[in-house]
Amino acid sequence: MLFSVPFFGVRFIGKSLNLWQGVYDSIGLMALSMVLFFNASASSFVVFVFEIIFNYYMVQYMLRCEGNKAKLIATLLIIFDVGVLAYFKYLIFFVEDVLGLFIDIPASWRADYSINLLVRDFSLVRTRIPPGVSFYTFQMVAFVVDSLNARRKKPIGFIDYINFVSFFPQIVAGPIERRTSLFPQIQRFRFKFTADNLYEGLRWLSLGIFLKFVLGDNIAPYIDLTAATNAWFVWFYAFLFTLRIYFDFAGYSFVALGIARVLGVKLTVNFLAPYTSQSINEFWRRWHITLSTWFRDYVFLPLMGSKKKLAPLFLFITFTLSGFWHGAAWNFLIWGAYHGALLLLLRYLGRPFSRLIGNSGNKSQLVSWALTFGAVNLGCLFFMETDINRLLTKLQTILNPGCYSVGNLGELLTHYSVNQGTALGIILALSIMVLLLEHLAVWQKKFEYELLLSPWLSPALLGLTILLAANIPSEFIYFEF
């Protein structure tokens, strides 16, 4: 507000007096994005600015080169970008969790690696991950590859490149945009405050904040990671987390899409009702779409090349890496490997199963959906539990028939007070309503969120957000990545 009110006030006066030039819109967007990123993390801002400048001049140099020289520059630049990501996100994991398996790591090793600047000690081992580093790094890498493969290698403007990388609605948690989709909209950027853009943007905003603040944030306090010996609790909390991560991340993505739309920019829809999927293949076509396509285009296909017989191996490697992208911990590696294994299982055993139930009509669809949702639910158990020992305990619990006793079920049913149970019941009812409307849109072969974005429902969602938004602050899950 401190930036936007004076900026748009001056812009209005300037346009009224015919003194406002179009390039000022690009400069204003750049300044706004940078101010917001600086406010999020001043120390990370310095690193981010250095990365932007370095990437811009290296890409410009690459565009003036041809053949192997251009490929060499692109390769070095990608190594640099991934190296920065690895340093900030994975250094501690590699030292403590990987090297620590083979050698003893001193407890004080983090403090030992520091430098003295301006009479202050600065640790070279960062314990906090810069906001959005996983997202903007992948966007930078994709820009390098797409620029290398572009048919017309035209120079790119410095301000345009900054706005592409730092576009504030999506820099922190995506969607991960490509050069072909976002960059043409950012080149010579102009604010387009039209009635259509405002109307469509506000509908996405209404849906996004409802999913996040009413559903995701109200579910979050009910998830207890410490429950590990009662199978009913383990499954119930995994189910709640399955709902929460979707509402939280999709909510952010829709808010980003809505803000961008108000400004006149169309971002990629990052989710397409993933919990309507009837197979794991379909789930990954609907979940975190820009990340899935990124790994497909920049990891899986280059790895496979012409070696199509090894495609299953490369698919498994790709999904394991995608799990590792989500976090520097063993559970994320397990989660990625789990989904890779599920896709391979579907590839080799899914077809006979499909033929077995294929004549059952709607029943087969219901069975396929239930199996898929159950598999995703189990996968969320890996995703949510960063304590590997407790994760193993939970896996032993759900595999032990004795942990499904009537007494354990009664413990779950009497765990909450009347007020807590009523509040959770209302939130779960609203959650099921949202999922049913997604299912209905898919069944009617409409856009997945057409019913939720309808003119009659958007105001109702906004009203429910005002009435039921959580009072306890809860950060977006993907801000940690």
Write b or e for each residue in 435-463: b if 16 or more Cβ atoms lie within 10 A of its Cβ, otherwise e. Answer: bebbbebbeeeeebbebbbeeebbeebbe
Answer yes or no: is pLDDT of 462 > 80.
yes
Q: How far is the C-alpha of 247 from the C-alpha of 470, rounded, in Å?
A: 13
**What is the average per-residue pLDDT within 225-239?**
94
Per-residue model confidence (pLDDT) at position 115: 64
Answer yes or no: is pLDDT of 319 > 90.
yes
Answer yes or no: is pLDDT of 245 > 70.
yes
Same domain, yes or no, for 225 and 347? Answer: yes
Same domain, yes or no, for 182 and 240? Answer: no
Of the residues 158, 191, 224, which one is the last residue of a structural domain? 191
Residue % of the chain over a pLDDT of 90: 71
Report the chain's C-alpha Rg in angstroms. Answer: 24
Same domain, yes or no, for 347 and 458? Answer: yes
- DSSP code per residue over 421-464: HHHHHHHHHHHHHHHHHHHHHHHTTS-TTTTTTSTTTHHHHHHH
Same domain, yes or no, for 101 and 230? Answer: no
Q: Which of the four pLDDT bands, split at 50, 70 and 90, describes residue 3?
A: confident
Q: How far is the C-alpha of 270 from the C-alpha of 289, rounded, in Å?
A: 5
Cα–chain center distance at 105: 33
Same domain, yes or no, for 278 and 330? Answer: yes
Same domain, yes or no, for 288 and 350? Answer: yes
Please list the helix, strand and coil fractions of the chain in percent, rounded to the nearest 5, in that order.
75, 0, 25
Per-residue model confidence (pLDDT) at position 112: 65
Per-residue model confidence (pLDDT) at position 43: 79
Per-residue model confidence (pLDDT) at position 360: 54
Report pTM.
0.91
Answer yes or no: is pLDDT of 119 > 80.
no
* Helices (H) then strands (E): counts for the chain: 21, 2
Instruction: Give ∠ CA 39-44-47 in degrees, rounded to 5.
Output: 130
Answer yes or no: is pLDDT of 220 > 90.
yes
Q: How far is the C-alpha of 202 from the C-alpha of 198, rounded, in Å?
A: 6
Query: Which pLDDT tens digit goes with each residue over 332-354?
Result: 999 999 999 999 988 777 655 55
Helix, coil or strand: residue 90:
helix
**Strand partners of residue 117:** 120
Q: Which of the four pLDDT bands, split at 50, 70 and 90, describes residue 477?
A: confident
Same domain, yes or no, for 31 and 91? Answer: yes
Same domain, yes or no, for 175 and 294? Answer: no
Of the residues 191, 217, 240, which one is the last residue of a structural domain? 191
Answer yes or no: is pLDDT of 363 > 80.
no
Listed range (16-20, 60-64, 120-124, 186-190) with the worst mean pLDDT = 120-124
Give me 481's structure tokens. 């990545």
Of the residues 191, 216, 231, which one is the last residue of a structural domain? 191
Same domain, yes or no, for 187 and 206? Answer: no
Of residues 364, 314, 370, the one with CA closest to residue 343: 314
Say how many domains are in the chain. Answer: 2
Cα–chain center distance at 143: 19
Same domain, yes or no, for 132 and 81? Answer: yes
Q: How far is the C-alpha of 264 from the C-alpha of 182, rounded, in Å?
A: 12
For residue 232, what are the domain limits? 196-480
Same domain, yes or no, for 117 and 50? Answer: yes
Per-residue model confidence (pLDDT) at position 481: 66
Same domain, yes or no, for 160 and 208? Answer: no
- DSSP code per residue over 223-284: --TT--S-HHHHHHHHHHHHHHHHHHHHHHHHHHHHHHHHHT-------S-GGG-SSHHHHH
